[in-house]
Chain A
Amino acid sequence: DGGITQSPKYLFRKEGQNVTLSCEQNLNHDAMYWYRQDPGQGLRLIYYSQIVNDFQKGDIAEGYSVSREKKESFPLTVTSAQKNPTAFYLCASSMTPDPTPPQHFGDGTRLSIL
């Protein structure tokens, strides 16, 4: 089955630690996205990538970094500079980078501070 796989499902971060969230898709989609969702809030865009080896900052990129070395993979690193990382992180993809919402989401990673 085609889809988006995020791992791990739950992640705990210690103070001062960088952690990386994995996102893999086998849909052959060009565009990939990372969102953050806090309780009672909508999804906020962290980073997006429209093509391999290219990515752009979203609305809340500070404290995060990404890479897009392969079409199917778009890992997100939450750095120690992100002071409030506890949230639900969602990766998504869409077939094209047109102004169309992501059609497919992964099932998310819940990140918490130890």
Chain B
Amino acid sequence: RKEVEQDPGPFNVPEGATVAFNCTYSNSASQSFFWYRQDCRKEPKLLMSVYSSGNEDGRFTAQLNRASQYISLLIRDSKLSDSATYLCVDPTGTASKLTFGTGTRLQVTL
């Protein structure tokens, strides 16, 4: 099993829709995660962190389910500009243990 797994998508949703995707992880000791956003052929940019209490930032909500070992990212009222690949990261341990998921591609359409 991969340390961090994501459905590559693409998730195609109409503008205004609500979309959610998950990231499963294998390290049961992990207690925090991060979501990054990466536009096509660009660098990743930190979107938000997620801890056991969850995190909400505007239209974005991130949740951590430690029992089932997954994190989720919910985007409400999708905008065209939300189209990107979303990477989840398990930062457990030293720098050499940072693990990036392969990303989930989101395409928001008119």
Contact = CB atoms under 8 A, between A and B. Distances in A.
Interface of A: 31, 33, 35, 40-45, 48, 50, 56-59, 88, 90, 97, 99-103, 105-108, 110
Nearest first, the 5 closest Cβ-Cβ pairs linking A and B are A105-B43, A42-B100, A43-B100, A42-B102, A48-B95
Contacts, number: 59
Contact of A90 (B43, B93, B99, B103): B43
A6 to B, nearest CB: 9
Interface of B: 4, 8, 34, 36, 41-46, 87, 89, 91-103
A100 B91 contact: yes
Given A40-B8, A42-B102, A107 B43 contact: yes
Nearest to B5: A42
A21 B9 CA distance: 32
5 contacts: A42-B102, A45-B96, A58-B95, A97-B95, A107-B42
Given A42-B87, A108-B42, A101 B103 contact: no
B95 A99 contact: yes
A56 B96 CA distance: 8
B43 A99 contact: no
Contact of B91 (A44, A58, A99): A99
A90 B95 CA distance: 15
B100 A99 contact: no
Contact of A101 (B91, B96, B102): B91
Given A90-B44, A108-B42, A42 B91 contact: no
A31 to B, nearest CB: 7
B73 to A, nearest CB: 15
